[in-house]
Chain A
């Protein structure tokens, strides 16, 4: 069974600074990988996903993530953070097998952006 670890519960950065949110997964094969963002009182919004191919994935809102098989990681990055990026971020892993369409989510990283 797959699992996800987001080591950082809470991160604070200054507006304009760069950001990297860590995600490590456990799965026996190449997984599907996702990053979602959730603002208070709202559902999740898909930022980006990795299925196959280029290991550097571009997403919405200027985010990108890199799949590193050797490190079992899928870290999310943004070169310059905006105050509106303050939210909770979830990494998720999905299994590559028909009939198993569930995602397993990490516990989330809450991002605070200081002015």
Chain B
């Protein structure tokens, strides 16, 4: 079966533009997580979803970041008015249940802000 799918795999955009990153979790997985990986900060938690609900948004760096999940499946992470410090690899993961923690990661979206 398919694993966690993320698109695009690479995104280059100009500072100030909005970007939308997509995550398609493994079918039937109720828990979905977004993490960010950068050279300076390492791996950072952004947000997780239990179904369509996001109980913990504490990791979102600023109000320019938002995420949603619809139909208990696909999730999108949106960054508005991108800044150079947003350059990173954005990783999505899913699990059958929230208590299992992130089990299956996608290959990530590499975001570069010029």
Contact = CB atoms under 8 A, between A and B. Distances in A.
B107 A99 contact: no
Nearest to A106: B42
Interface string A86-104: 0000101010000111111
22 contacts: A32-B101, A36-B105, A41-B107, A43-B91, A43-B93, A43-B107, A43-B108, A44-B91, A44-B105, A45-B105, A46-B103, A46-B104, A49-B101, A92-B43, A99-B55, A101-B56, A101-B101, A102-B48, A102-B59, A103-B102, A106-B42, A108-B42
Contact of A43 (B42, B48, B58, B105): B105
Interface residues of A, number: 23
B101 A94 contact: yes
Size band of the interface chain B makes with A = 20 to 34
B98 interface: yes
A22 interface: no
Contact of B98 (A36, A42, A101, A104): A101
Given A43-B91, A90-B43, A103 B105 contact: no
B65 interface: no
Contacts of B33: 101
Given A43-B91, A108-B42, A103 B108 contact: no
Given A43-B107, A103-B45, 13 more contacts: A32-B101, A34-B101, A42-B107, A43-B93, A44-B102, A92-B43, A99-B55, A101-B55, A102-B48, A102-B59, A103-B102, A105-B44, A106-B42
